[in-house]
Structure 1
Amino acid sequence: MNQKQLLRPVADAATLSAPLADFNTADAVEYLNTLGLPQAADTLAALPVPRAVKLLEAPELQHAGELIAALPPARAAALLGLMADDRATDIVHELDAAERARLIPLLAPEARQSIQLLLSYPPNTAGALMTTEFVGVPADWSVAQTLQHIRQVERSRETVYAIYVLDPLTRQLRQVVTMRRLITGAPEDSILDVAQVNPPVTVGPLLDQEEVAQLIRRHDLLAIPVVDAQLQMLGIVTVDDILDALIDESTEDVHKFGGVEALDKPYMQIGFFEMLRKRAGWLSVLFLGEMLTASAMQHYEDELARAVVLTLFIPLIMSSGGNSGSQATSLLIRSLALRELRLRDWWRVALRELPTGMVLGGILGVLAIVRITVWQLAGLHDYGAHWVLLAVTIGAALVGIVTFGSLSGSMLPFVLKRLGFDPASASAPFVATLVDVTGLVIYFSIAAMILGGTLL
């Protein structure tokens, strides 16, 4: 035990594990998450090994790496060795270098080799997500031999719903057999006789997880094999693993779209100063951007002094442009993420958003003209002798600003993707700030053309 464990009083194992006796895995994980780290580690150490492994394999378990680090090294290594390779690798990723160096040598050779292999791949790739625990059988086996093999190894495999048929000499992937086709085959049939007709769908270990998800969805797979350049099986990515990864990535994109640096922990687990660091950077950038708005207004100070009534509609003008830009940005970010669009499609999007923005701006412009007219004629507010020209100015400005907002909001994700950045960085506040500055220029330029010689 390490020094912390020696100083910590450990309760009786039966006492610690008693509250979890009637819990299923999900409820037991939720219970562990409510405990402090020392008590959670003691409880985990008191549980039977199979039960502890099941809890550690649950992605919902918080601080799994810290829990493993708090256990005696032999116990920690035993649990890691019995876990699914991909989940064990996720936990090892959470450990610092010293803890990894302490625990990895204690693992059984097979588990150590698998975890080190998975650690070698970049994050968010098929190799990092895959598990090496799949059912693979030689191509010269029969259906009966394959079924007997599955009975022997099913507890140690991630899934048995897909069986991968390998060349007996090279271990290259030759075919995939579903469990349905296997159990409907005659025992004496060759495994290749019941295999699917189409060539197997495979991915390389460096393929991005979003593209892996697209292939799984397109081909309606429960798992997809990961192969090297020689088509030798490295592992499989299962649909539940890719869903967990995509949920994490979607959460990160949502944070970015809100103008916040992505959080790597649940909200309540982020420390005060870390939360400030995550939010202050983007907020400062947006503030500096909004300072350009103040500069633009200063540039039109004389116009504002001569026609104070124009200031009444600045919030309306700016928010409408920002809203249209945010709409376009959110639609395009999602389409790019789903691979519905490619970078080369930018001109098609521009040609679509240009008339869309003009029509949307026209709708808002008509609403603004009607509002000014009703208020003037009903005596709710006096916009002056030139109120008709003012209404036309506001309507025309909305057409221009909403069109610009839609066009710039739709193009910004393409620009960021072309520069190698995440399109989700085109956050709604960022787009709104961009449109605010240009919106003022458009507004006062149109006002100068229409109201020149009257109010201006």
Structure 2
Amino acid sequence: MAEVYTNLKKTVLTLIEEKSFQRLRDILITMPPADIAALFSELSEKSLPLVFRLLPKDLAAETFVEMDSDLQHHLIQGFSDAELQAVVNELYVDDAAALIEEMPANVVKRILRQADPETRRQINEILKYPEDSAGSIMTTEFVSLRAHMTVADAIKRIRQLGVDSETINACYVTDDGRRLIGVVSIRTLILANENDRIEKIMNRYVVSVRTTEDQETVAKMFAKYDLTVLPVVDGEGRLVGIVTVDDAIDVLQEETTEDFEKMAAITPTDRPYLKTSVLEIWKSRIPWLLVLMISATFTGLIISHFEDALKTYVLLTAYIPMLMDTGGNSGSQASVTVIRGLSLNELEFRDLFRIVWKEFQVAILAGATLAAINFVKLMFFDQVTLLVAFVICLTLFLTVCVAKLTGCIFPMLAQKAGFDPVVMASPFITTIVDALSLLIYFRIATMILGI
């Protein structure tokens, strides 16, 4: 695929240089919108508006949605009012709302000014919902049916409204008060007798979400129930919109990226790495680095406190990095496993004691294995005394145990306290375990070696 894309890119660039726009258009209309958007990201700012204007109206709108916000902004600045109006009115409402959230205020005013009154009303309706909620990612363009309709009436309505709807695979049934009462698939409608009533063939059990539900929870429901579309209702059970599977995938990708950034002690950002300035990257990283640097001073205080002991047994200093790194790695393994379980709703706070017991057993096995192998190394390769080897191996064993328990408990406590458990991942766990491993090391050395 990479080779095909490279050859295609060369062909497009050649056609642009030769001004063979009809041949270029013939190629573009055969490509998926996502691939066209990726190709456009490789074009110069001068060529982009010219090539974009070659696309048919519907394909142009679909491609525009797939482009990143910087390219969208660049195109909008070059659009005439008529061109902007054509693109905006071809967008689905949720895509138009997402576009507005990414644009500067002056561009937003221009977009809304070019949208037709009904589209503008629907966009404003979506924008009033909390950020990262089901209401903020739903679309209001869907087909609803009534229970008293016949199959023939329903199909006629779908033909009338379906062209402007994001999907018709599932059509939701509402009562006179717009309350959600059922769902019927397009497959069921086509295979049913045209005189059957919708109430006879619809499924009355409908999985739905409230407008205020968190978008990550919404996205996970798609995987849990094998859905392609999910209805969104208000506090009174009235159908106000739908979320489609493509939006759910975008949410999962966004949330996963955010979790990775938090686990690496980076403030999350929506911009791609290569599109992010050095100053923005610095701003996202430095607060966490400052916090971790200050917290890491505790390890320095511990070492300073036992400075006399280290002077007596200088050899002990050589094994501090190994003990701290092993403890940090052990804690990270436990924390990442628990955090992932929490994010997938596989674990709850009530499972805390079961988790602790399981991690404790794992810690015993892992700690004993590492201590035994390390003991052999210390005695036969490093040739330290028996007591020193015993101190190091006992510390290693206890450090692994403490690290794994810390790694599994802290994310659970963080979630219970209302914090994102992801922030208790690698950096914080490592800092905490480093301090604990040093305390254990020096206490054991003091007791056994008498220093």
TM-score of the superposed pair, with normalisation by structure 2: 0.90
How far 1:338 sits from its partner (Å)?
0.7
Contact 1:69–1:95 under 8 Å retained in 2: no
In the alignment, what sits opposite 1:158?
A: 166
In the alignment, what sits opposite 1:190?
A: 197
**1:258-277 Cα deviation digits (max 9, x unpaired):** 22222321111111111122
1:119 aligns to 2:156 (yes or no): no
In the alignment, what sits opposite 1:221?
A: 227
In the alignment, what sits opposite 2:397?
A: 399
How far 1:192 sits from its partner (Å)?
1.6
1:443 aligns to 2:441 (yes or no): yes
In the alignment, what sits opposite 1:19?
A: 24
How far 1:57 sits from its partner (Å)?
2.6
In the alignment, what sits opposite 1:51?
A: 59
How far 1:247 sits from its partner (Å)?
0.6
In the alignment, what sits opposite 1:367?
A: 373
Paired with 1:89 and 1:420, the residues of 2 have a C-alpha distance of 30
1:76 aligns to 2:104 (yes or no): no
How far 1:399 sits from its partner (Å)?
1.6
Tell me the SS of whatever aligns to 1:22: helix
Moved more, 205-214 or 101-110: 101-110
Contact 1:85–1:133 under 8 Å retained in 2: yes
In the alignment, what sits opposite 2:430?
A: 432
In the alignment, what sits opposite 1:6?
A: none
Contact 1:289–1:433 under 8 Å retained in 2: yes
Paired with 2:166 and 2:386, the residues of 1 have a C-alpha distance of 72
Q: Which amino acid aligns with 1:297?
A: I
Moved more, 58-67 or 212-221: 58-67
**1:163-192 Cα deviation digits (max 9, x unpaired):** 11122x212222100122111100111112
In the alignment, what sits opposite 2:10?
A: none
In the alignment, what sits opposite 2:41?
A: 33
Superposed, 1:195-274 pairs within 5 Å as 195-196=202-203, 198-274=204-280
Tell me the SS of whatever aligns to 2:194: coil
Moved more, 260-269 or 319-328: 260-269
1:297 aligns to 2:303 (yes or no): yes
Q: 1:425 and 1:66, CA in 2 relative to 1: closer, same or farther beyond 3 A?
A: farther
Contact 2:149–2:197 under 8 Å retained in 1: yes
Name which of 326, 351, 357 aligns with 2:363: 357
Q: 1:388 and 1:414, CA in 2 relative to 1: closer, same or farther beyond 3 A?
A: same
Q: Which amino acid aligns with 1:340?
A: E
Name which of 175, 178, 182 aligns with 1:171: 178
Tell me the SS of whatever aligns to 1:235: strand
1:278 aligns to 2:284 (yes or no): yes
Q: 1:245 and 1:17, CA in 2 relative to 1: closer, same or farther beyond 3 A?
A: farther
In the alignment, what sits opposite 1:108?
A: 116
Q: Which amino acid aligns with 2:448?
A: I
Question: Which segments of 5 or more consecutive residues in structure 2 lack a partner in the other structure?
Answer: 1-15
Paired with 2:369 and 2:75, the residues of 1 have a C-alpha distance of 58
Question: Which segments of 5 or more consecutive residues in structure 1 lack a partner in the other structure?
Answer: 1-10, 376-380
Tell me the SS of whatever aligns to 1:163: strand
Contact 1:126–1:207 under 8 Å retained in 2: yes
Paired with 1:88 and 1:108, the residues of 2 have a C-alpha distance of 12
Contact 1:296–1:440 under 8 Å retained in 2: yes
Runs of 4+ in 1 over 6 A off after TM superposition: 14-17
In the alignment, what sits opposite 1:136?
A: 144
Superposed, 1:335-346 pairs within 5 Å as 335-346=341-352
Q: 1:75 and 1:273, CA in 2 relative to 1: closer, same or farther beyond 3 A?
A: same
Q: 1:61 and 1:92, CA in 2 relative to 1: closer, same or farther beyond 3 A?
A: closer
1:180 aligns to 2:180 (yes or no): no
Paired with 1:250 and 1:70, the residues of 2 have a C-alpha distance of 34
How far 1:89 sits from its partner (Å)?
0.9
**1:352-390 Cα deviation digits (max 9, x unpaired):** 323322332122111111211221xxxxx442xxx1111
Moved more, 148-157 or 36-45: 36-45
Contact 1:133–1:235 under 8 Å retained in 2: yes
Q: Which amino acid aligns with 2:141?
A: E
Contact 1:85–1:132 under 8 Å retained in 2: yes
Moved more, 426-435 or 241-250: 426-435
Paired with 1:382 and 1:229, the residues of 2 have a C-alpha distance of 72
Paired with 2:111 and 2:247, the residues of 1 have a C-alpha distance of 24
Tell me the SS of whatever aligns to 1:174: strand
Q: 1:17 and 1:34, CA in 2 relative to 1: closer, same or farther beyond 3 A?
A: farther
Contact 2:38–2:67 under 8 Å retained in 1: no
Q: Which amino acid aligns with 1:21?
A: D
For these two proteins, the number of residue pairs brought into alignment is 432
Moved more, 284-293 or 16-25: 16-25
How far 1:232 sits from its partner (Å)?
1.4
The percentage of aligned residue pairs carrying the same residue is 34
Paired with 2:171 and 2:58, the residues of 1 have a C-alpha distance of 25
